Structure 1
């Protein structure tokens, strides 16, 4: 008798939960889900591809469920531009099983996860500080070029043997953001520095599991691979937070020449603002969060984009040859390319601008043959660079990327100089495809090795 009462109660509870998870009034059409899980299992390992498939079936605006949470997916640029310009679209979820409330780096702080007045205050400060520090200007260009030359030297020393460029490349790119936020760089072979950039990459990949555990919390109740990675993510957060605190404690600007703004780096500017305004939100926790966000965003996204560029050059050797010919004819391969050369190398910059963005199908309303790698789509009839609607690699609206100017300069200087110095080749018997990647917050190509053949 008790068994049947328990079974009946369970059935009532399940029925109730299922009924309240049904699509509400005016909710956009979309794929059918299953109780409690919604559409999470249908997304598979590459959610963007599944959402592209659903948009073709249900339209540019469709509804789905992440567990029991309703989600509206918008696949139209003009609609997104309108929505993202409004304050109501600038909020952020503070749910996380990796960055918990008692975490040394909880969600809801920093520049990316914060919202409301905290976000507005610190985004405004970050924008003005990065501008004053010279983002996109001469001293920053010199910093990037120094890292480019260091990377090229490391690639020459591989002596045309198969080599995975990810660690060296990531460290080189990370050193640029380190110059901005800490006022210093690290050696490319520094094992501690390599570990830190690896931890950032690991946590970027773990984010999708964070979402999964919010939907299926019992995955954290018993030993399994998901739980193991979540626990690793928490440990990584602790290690990265300790690194940020070490950098704050060891920060010394007394021996450095100040820039025209009076601040040699972001950390100094933050501490100066705190003492000047005595704004209570300028505390150490928010500083750690801001440094963490700048370090992670300035490391992983740009280095991953450059790795994608390498993949596309291997898949399209004719494009690589055309880029190299443009460099040879208009500048010369013996000349280190600078920001001033961008206007003379439109085809080269078109590759830096658009290649990685096309690894997924794009709406044909914006350009022809969206699934093909065609740098010319970013050039007008006069061979000048254009930015067509629907191409938003730095997002739009109030949450647009803080570091767009820096990223554009880095992408050009790294990719153009790599192709100036080297021809990229696959080791004998190996293959490489843009379809081989793993998806999370950032879509990253699977590990690969290349042969870097010097061009001089």
Structure 2
């Protein structure tokens, strides 16, 4: 009996020891880096180097590059992530080997918003992705470019903002909600033919969604890098699900409202255009009809509406803040606008070549405060290399655009706000600089770039043609330190004095 008990206890002890040894092996394996990959911090089991990352990961990665080099590997949860921190490496990955790194990682948050990768921004590279990106590009060209964009701003979006600012002439204001209203109305008109006022309940709902996602979602949930945590109903998981449901319900409601009233001879906006593409595919019985389902079309609308609001709003936000800090620059901007356009006529896209200083200021704002400093993560589609290092298939690749825009090898005193760096000695705009890439590069370059550039120019010049912004007496100047959240570098809340110029 005693011998049996001893034997049983010994067996249990051996099982326990064996289990502990297996656990140790698994933990050690979890921080193992495949051979030939770039160097980097080893990290801890399970969580990797998660504790070393703050909300401003673009700055964290810039500091890590000083120790490990411009290309390094960091373990985030269960994922090996390769980070690129200079122009040459990014050029190699995104341009020279663009098909190797054209994939997108699947994450809990991303899959929730994209309904399983059925959008354009977060879906993997492939035939379906190419089709929907082509359709979206054509919609932008047809409905929100050239004179149509100018008319949309002049007649539908800017007058409401102008009225609000004129009512507050000489007073202190918080510009962000007003800028958000302005940009929101451009994108809402383009996407589903709707215009909002500042007190519109739906516009307030959109503002709340943005604020809530920034507060709760930040740069994603831990479940995005440790997938099994998604099955634990934490507050963050519950709130993100709720926000996603609210946003997508709004998009689906607008889509099906359009579908009920659809007339192929009267196409007014993006949804009408997408419904017509779907109709043509059904009538022609094309091979790609399955990929033109309602879900994918709604996701295309969601992509363009959400991303188009966020990036442009925060670019204009930073522009106002930097020109409040630099009134001499603001004065030069106003002088060029007066000389080229005057005070009555709204700016036109055709004015842009004659306004190099305004263009240089916009470039410098986008450089010094790149609104998407880490872009959207890429994924290796095949086994490949970057900088001579092995990059196994399915490895995440993160692009630190902030590091490129702040690289002392390419920019003199990069922290300094200096629009003249984009001008020739004779005052003309320099040719496009390859290492200036606020919209990323390559196959997955920002879908809305062709819209954002003329839109930002028209809004920037319209604002500073009619108004002057200055700091509030007795208060500190707006802080220029941003916080990255939901991939966007957001300025802190700020207050300025607005005055009519003309």
Check whether TM > 0.5: yes
What is the rounded CA distance, in whole Å, between the counterparts of 1:10 and 1:447 in structure 2? 51
* Counterpart secondary structure, 2:51: coil
Match of 1:399 among 420, 444, 447: 444
Contact 1:306 1:411 in 2 (8 A): yes
Greater shift in the superposed pair: 407-416 or 337-346: 337-346
2:6 maps to none
Larger gyration radius, structure 1 or structure 2: 2
Match of 2:171 among 140, 161, 165: 161
Q: Structure 1 382/220 Cα, relative in aligned 2: closer, same or farther at 3 Å?
A: same
1:91 maps to 103
Greater shift in the superposed pair: 288-297 or 423-432: 423-432
Match of 1:289 among 286, 299, 302: 299
Relative contact order, CA 8 A, sep 6+: which one is greater? 2
What is the rounded CA distance, in whole Å, between the counterparts of 2:228 and 2:280 in structure 1? 48
Superposition pairs of residues 35-434 of structure 1, within 5 angstroms: 35-85=45-95, 86-97=98-109, 99-100=111-112, 106-115=115-124, 116-133=126-143, 135-146=144-155, 147-200=157-210, 202-203=212-213, 206-208=216-218, 210-216=220-226, 227-251=234-258, 263-278=267-282, 279-359=289-369, 362-386=406-430, 387-427=432-472, 428-434=474-480
* Counterpart secondary structure, 1:411: helix
* Counterpart secondary structure, 1:41: helix
2:394 maps to none
2:40 maps to 30
Q: Summarize deviations over 1:388-446 as a string: whole Å, max 9, x none.
A: 12211112111112222221112111122212222212223233121143444111011
Q: Structure 1 389/403 Cα, relative in aligned 2: closer, same or farther at 3 Å?
A: same
Q: CA deviation at 1:263?
A: 3.7
* Counterpart secondary structure, 2:313: helix
Structure 1: gaps of 5 or more residues: none
* Counterpart secondary structure, 2:115: coil
Contact 2:219 2:485 in 1 (8 A): no
Q: CA deviation at 1:213?
A: 2.5
What is the rounded CA distance, in whole Å, between the counterparts of 1:131 and 1:13 in structure 2? 57
Instruction: Compute the RMSD of aligned alpha carbons.
Output: 2.7
Paired positions, count: 446
Q: Structure 1 363/254 Cα, relative in aligned 2: closer, same or farther at 3 Å?
A: same
Contact 2:73 2:83 in 1 (8 A): yes
Contact 2:358 2:461 in 1 (8 A): yes
Contact 2:30 2:45 in 1 (8 A): no
Contact 1:18 1:36 in 2 (8 A): no
What is the rounded CA distance, in whole Å, between the counterparts of 1:216 and 1:292 in structure 2? 26
What is the rounded CA distance, in whole Å, between the counterparts of 2:262 and 2:292 in structure 1? 25
Q: Summarize deviations over 1:154-195 as a string: whole Å, max 9, x none.
A: 112224332212222112112212222213323343121231
Structure 2: gaps of 5 or more residues: 1-8, 283-288, 370-401
